[in-house]
């Protein structure tokens, strides 16, 4: 029995699962695999590279995929929005910054607009901008995010939408890596989920084997919210967001010493070392974004199996109800 929700109906997909537009790791191969498996795959537009985007859309071929941008970064290269809209993507997702500067252009194109939010203030902003889908992202998530947790943010946004924008769909993100998480998100009032960390450990992710082994080996305690990955890369993220990454050798040697890492001479050296380790897949000496869901990820599998297993487990959980209620005998 497929899990039909408003999300599957509105987007014309089989499973209520969207893959996160993870910069550099979510290319056309992963997005196409997720869409092919019945979800909606998103290419990670990241910090914006037009040639890379063209290549990755070409890799996805005829499979319907969408794309996600980092809003504050897109403001510096707004022409990329038209470049992607010209490909009639299945959806356009905006995160981290106001959607307002881009909303009219996206709405006019007829492409569904997905806005990822980290707080109630962001959720109201997304409603005002006319979002078709709001992703409520808890701070458990891998990569950048805010400080609210998924368990409270999702139902609170669900209540807001029920009153203010009943046609806007809600998707939960942050910490969801198996069918229990999917079932819980639906119970909290979401129409589906968006998953990132779980798909780093998929056969189709553009992640080096070293990163995939690291996420399989990590547990939920192994990650930390830190600014050092942004400082070494010279990315000027708005202060309300920080990145959740593996607490590895690189992070532990600089976390708490951010001022030193920002010194130009040290930064230049470390930047070179960082990217060289990144390119060679050395998970100990670069930034490896992953969420607390790392503790639920035990193997690398094809995306289709990840989606199928999640849905099957969620269906069972929803059908059987809670497993751990202690019932009184009296």
Ligand X SMILES: Cc1cc2nc3c(=O)[nH]c(=O)nc-3n(C[C@H](O)[C@H](O)[C@H](O)COP(=O)(O)O)c2cc1C
Residue numbers at the binding site for ligand X (CB under 6 A) = 20-23, 25, 44, 46, 68, 70, 95, 116, 137, 140-143, 173-176, 194-198, 200, 289-291, 293
**Residue whose Cβ sits closest to ligand X:** 196
Strand order across the beta sheet in which 66-70 lies: 17-19, 192-195, 169-173, 133-137, 113-117, 92-95, 66-70, 42-44
Edge to edge, what strands does the sheet with 143-145 contain?
143-145, 242-246, 223-226
Contacts (Cβ under 8 Å, ≥6 apart) of 146: 118, 119, 122, 137, 139, 240, 241
The rounded radius of gyration (Å) of the Cα atoms in the chain is 19
Q: Which is nearer to ligand X, 125 or 140 (CB)?
A: 140
Taking the complex as a whole, how short is the minimal distance between the CB of residue 135 and ligand X, in angstroms? 7
Nearest distance, CB of residue 298 and ligand X, angstroms? 15
Min dist. Cβ of residue 168 to ligand X (A): 18
With respect to ligand X, which residue has the nearer C-beta, 153 or 161?
Answer: 153
How many other β-carbons are positioned within 10 Å of the β-carbon of residue 296? 17
Q: Is the dihedral of CA 64, 70, 71, 77 positive or negative?
A: negative
Q: Where are the alpha helices (DSSP H) in the chain?
A: 6-11, 28-36, 50-60, 71-74, 79-85, 100-109, 120-129, 150-164, 179-187, 197-200, 209-217, 228-233, 249-254, 258-261, 264-279, 303-320
Tell me whether residue 161 or residue 287 sits nearer to ligand X (CB atom). Answer: 287
CA 279, 281, 282: angle at the middle one, nearest 5? 110
Least Å from the CB of residue 301 to ligand X: 15
Pairing of strands 242-246, 223-226: antiparallel
Q: Whole-number minimum distance, CB 256 to ligand X, in Å?
A: 23
Distance of alpha carbon 38 from alpha carbon 34, whole angstroms: 7
Cβ-contact 165, 265 below 8 angstroms:
no
Residue 27 or 64: the one with the smaller Cβ distance to ligand X is 27
In the complex, least distance from residue 51 CB atom to ligand X, rounded to whole angstroms: 17
Smaller CB separation from ligand X, 180 or 266: 180
**Residue 193 beta carbon to ligand X: minimum distance, rounded to whole angstroms:** 8
Nearer of residues 189 and 220 to ligand X, judged by Cβ? 220
CA distance 216 to 289: 13
Q: Which is nearer to ligand X, 59 or 266 (CB)?
A: 59
Closer residue to ligand X in complex, CB, 189/266: 189
State in angstroms the smallest separation of the CB of 263 from ligand X.
27
């Amino acid at each position: 029995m497929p899990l039909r929700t408003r999300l599957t109906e509105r987007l014309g997909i089989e499973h209520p699962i969207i893959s996160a537009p993870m910069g550099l790791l979510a290319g056309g191969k992963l997005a196409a695999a997720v869409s092919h498996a019945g979800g909606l795959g998103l290419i990670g537009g990241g910090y914006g590279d037009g040639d890379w985007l063209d290549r990755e859309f070409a890799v996805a071929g005829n499979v319907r995929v969408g794309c996600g941008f980092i809003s504050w970064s897109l403001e510096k290269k707004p022409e990329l929005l038209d470049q992607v809209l010209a490909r009639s993507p299945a959806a356009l997702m905006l995160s981290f910054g106001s959607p307002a500067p881009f909303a009219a252009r996206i709405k006019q194109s007829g492409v569904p607009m997905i806005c990822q939010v980290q707080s109630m203030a962001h959720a109201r902003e997304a409603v005002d901008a006319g979002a078709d889908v709001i992703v409520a992202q808890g701070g458990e998530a891998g990569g950048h995010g805010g400080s609210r947790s998924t368990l409270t943010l999702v139902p609170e946004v669900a209540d807001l939408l029920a009153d203010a924008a009943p046609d806007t769909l809600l998707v939960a993100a942050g910490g969801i890596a198996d069918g229990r998480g999917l079932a819980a998100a639906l119970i909290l009032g979401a129409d589906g989920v968006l998953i990132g960390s779980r798909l780093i450990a998929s056969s189709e992710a553009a992640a080096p084997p070293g990163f995939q082994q690291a996420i399989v080996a990590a547990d939920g305690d192994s990650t930390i919210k830190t600014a050092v990955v942004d400082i070494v890369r010279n990315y000027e993220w708005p202060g309300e967001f920080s990145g959740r990454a593996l607490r590895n050798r690189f992070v532990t040697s600089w976390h708490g010493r951010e001022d030193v890492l920002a010194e130009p001479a040290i930064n230049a050296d470390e930047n070179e070392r960082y990217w060289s380790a990144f390119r060679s897949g050395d998970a100990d000496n670069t930034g490896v974004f992953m969420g607390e869901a790392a503790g639920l990820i035990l193997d690398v599998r094809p995306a289709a199996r990840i989606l199928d297993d999640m849905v099957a487990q969620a269906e069972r959980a929803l059908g059987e109800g809670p497993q751990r209620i202690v019932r009184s005998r009296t």
